[in-house]
Structure 1
Amino acid sequence: MVWAGFLMGLLGSFHCLGMCGPIAVALPVGKGSGWHFVTGRLLYNGGRIITYAGLGLLAGAFGQSLQLVGVQQLVSIIAGVLIFILAVMPALISRPLGNISFIQKILLWVRKTFARYYQKQNMFALLVVGLLNGLLPCGFVYIALAGAIAMKTLPLAMTYMALFGLGTLPLMLLVSLSGKLIKPQTRFFFKKAVPYMACVIACLFILRGLNLGIPYVSPKAQAATPHHQASLACCHKK
């Protein structure tokens, strides 16, 4: 299911265009050649992808904690349900999260730091802006993180979110380099299609968790052998 991260980012990049497109278009130009301009945009988008991968690590760690208590298949079902809820009723989860005091403090710091570096005219500032942009509230990123929870290992969770970021890269890079090339009607169509696409991915996660024995879609989970269980217990003791 790690490929779903790239697919989600690719098809949902029109949603990113509506939310972050103005930021990408208005990035400081700075001084230097055309390659200097392109490099700055690559650094900005690279920063976003790095932050997404880091968030994937946190989501994966949460998923691993659930898997350690023996609910591996349930994790996939929970992730699918979360993706579905976030796609259909994003405010149901995003608003309560935004009301938590320490999250509000973090977001306030992110916005202030973002605004400070956004005014600077250097490559490092563009990288920092990209890193911080990945932390700004976004329901679409929350949907992707719900999928990262279901990944079996931390590297897979990071890869899932990195692929999600790479999926958004082509369109976001194109817009940041060339300005408003996408017609509003096209953006509106794909933005409306995002929830439907997210619901399809949610169904895939739920099917995988149901352990139906369908190849590639819902394969049978193999029970851990006593030797494997002993190895896991030994590793956790260390």
Structure 2
Amino acid sequence: MDLAWLEHSQYFAALAVGFFGGVHCLGMCGGLISALSFTQQAKMPKVKTHRLPILLAYNLGRVTSYALAGALAGALGASFLSLTGLQTAQHILAFFAALFMLALGLYLAGIWQDVAQLERFGSGFWRKLEPLSRRFIPIRTPWQAFPFGMIWGWLPCGLVYTILIWSLSAGSAWQGLLLMLAFGIGTLPNLLLIGVAANRLTQFSRQPAVRLGAGLMVCAFGLMMLWRLTLNF
């Protein structure tokens, strides 16, 4: 059973899922990043401000946390693979990842909302972690924004958790890291643009046609994963 297709296509797929799933990111983080964009003007109205370095540092911190989480998931999956038959176990993990990808697509499309239940698993951890981020508020420099973004990278999110489940089947800590890194990079265009055109993008993202299109695109990746897995059995 040849799994080479996973190694060559999974990173591009994760990148695309991050981009098209950015509709969900707009709802989760849009208000926060908009606040980051204008916090300096509110706190220091007489000082010339530069919003882009703040936004870049925040998102770099967020993506760094995604990559670390992917490495942990990949290492966990690799440990599981080492205890059983490599190819069979990797196919099983990839199969469940594909199912979660389909569920995520339906969630983004507004068709099936139960994926949001995944966010409950991290709610307890987040309640303990979130207060640490308040130490960096108000954010006036990129050096404050980066650790703030790292903390908020652990915000419970069904979209992130689904890609983490996918990372379990990556095969190693390094591959899991790259998978989540690709996903995080894919989310950047949407979240960086929020700081520039928050209101317009938020209104755009709430349109049913946009949500449906993004969800169906993610579903297509899930179906592709299932189809290619069946070819290798």
TM-score, normalised via structure 2 length: 0.77
Q: Which amino acid aligns with 1:63?
A: G
* Whole-Å separation in 2 of the counterparts to 1:52 and 1:165: 7
Q: What secondary structure does 1:184 align onto?
A: helix
* Whole-Å separation in 1 of the counterparts to 2:104 and 2:76: 18
Contact 1:60/1:158, CA 8 A, preserved across alignment: yes
Q: Could you list the per-position Cα deviations for residues 87-132 of structure 1 after superposition, in whole angstroms to 9, with x for gaps in the alignment?
A: 446765653762x6xx544211222223342334332221122112
* Whole-Å separation in 2 of the counterparts to 1:185 and 1:174: 12
Which residue in the other structure is 1:193 paired with?
A: 213
- Measured after TM superposition, the shift of residue 194 of structure 1 is 3.3
Which residue in the other structure is 1:48 paired with?
A: 62
Which ranges of structure 1 fall in alignment gaps of 5 or more residues? Answer: 214-219, 221-238
- Measured after TM superposition, the shift of residue 198 of structure 1 is 2.4
Which residue in the other structure is 1:81 paired with?
A: 99
Provide the aligned length of Structure 1 versus Structure 2: 209
- Measured after TM superposition, the shift of residue 147 of structure 1 is 2.0
1:154 aligns with 2:168: no
Q: Which amino acid aligns with 2:201?
A: I
Larger Rg: 1
Which residue in the other structure is 1:235 paired with?
A: none
Which residue in the other structure is 2:117 paired with?
A: 95
* Residues 104/178 of structure 1: CA separation in 2 closer, same or farther (3 Å cut): closer
Q: Could you say which structure has the higher helix fraction?
A: 2
Contact 1:4/1:160, CA 8 A, preserved across alignment: no
Alignment of 1:144-223 (within 5 A): 144-182=163-201, 184-188=203-207, 189-210=209-230, 212-213=231-232
Q: What secondary structure does 1:179 align onto?
A: helix
Q: Could you list the per-position Cα deviations for residues 145-198 of structure 1 after superposition, in whole angstroms to 9, with x for gaps in the alignment?
A: 222222133222111111111111112112113432326145423333333222
Which residue in the other structure is 2:26 paired with?
A: 17
* Residues 16/97 of structure 1: CA separation in 2 closer, same or farther (3 Å cut): closer
Identity of matched residues, %: 26
Q: Which amino acid aligns with 2:138?
A: Q
**Root mean square deviation, CA, Å:** 2.6
* Whole-Å separation in 2 of the counterparts to 1:11 and 1:111: 27
Q: Which amino acid aligns with 1:46?
A: L
* Whole-Å separation in 1 of the counterparts to 2:131 and 2:24: 24
Which ranges of structure 2 fall in alignment gaps of 5 or more residues? Answer: 1-9
